Amino acid sequence: MSTPDTVDHSAHERQDRQDKQDRQDQQHGLQWQPTQELRSLSAAVELFTQAVAEHMGINTTDLQCLNLIHEIGAPTAGELAAKTGLSSGSITGVVDRLERAGYVQRQADQADRRKVHLVPTAKAGQVAQTVFLPMLAEVAQNYATYTEAELRLIVEFMRRTRLTLAEQAERIRRQGRIK
């Protein structure tokens, strides 16, 4: 038969073990929580992109290319192909569709007439304002809740994650298609 001291001691040991397990669970959970949130964020971005593309009457690849055209600033088709990893034939199709939809125009290079730059149209700018500005305003409100130091940390995390994803995408491309 156990004494009250033994029961208390045994209960304390169980509680200590449980507390230790809880701390390990919290540490492991916190360690993996950013990865889980990134997966959820990736899905949310993909669904948002799909909704915007449908709204614009284009597909998601074309929308991503249009975004890159804005980001790069009047790239050539070759530059866009290099940035996306798409073949030159695929990029031609993307540019043709974006041009037909009125979101991009081809513009000859003034210094080298053999080069053609891809330039977003006024229509693309209008869509960006009506679709993306409300979302960006809400995101800015979220950012306003963080200190400058926290924002710098978030930006650094996002930058590192973006670079890791780019490196991993290149690694996967080098491996080729699964057979």
pLDDT in tens, 143-161: 999 999 999 999 999 999 9
> Tokens standing for 107?
């513009």
Q: Model-level pTM? A: 0.73
DSSP state of 103: S
CB atoms within 10 A of CB 77: 19
CATH 3.30.499.10 for domain 38-121, yes or no, is: no
Which pLDDT tens digit goes with each residue over 22-79?
Answer: 666 666 677 788 888 999 999 999 999 999 999 999 999 999 999 999 999 999 999 9
71: exposed, middle or buried (Cβ count in 10 Å: 0-12, 13-18, 19+): exposed
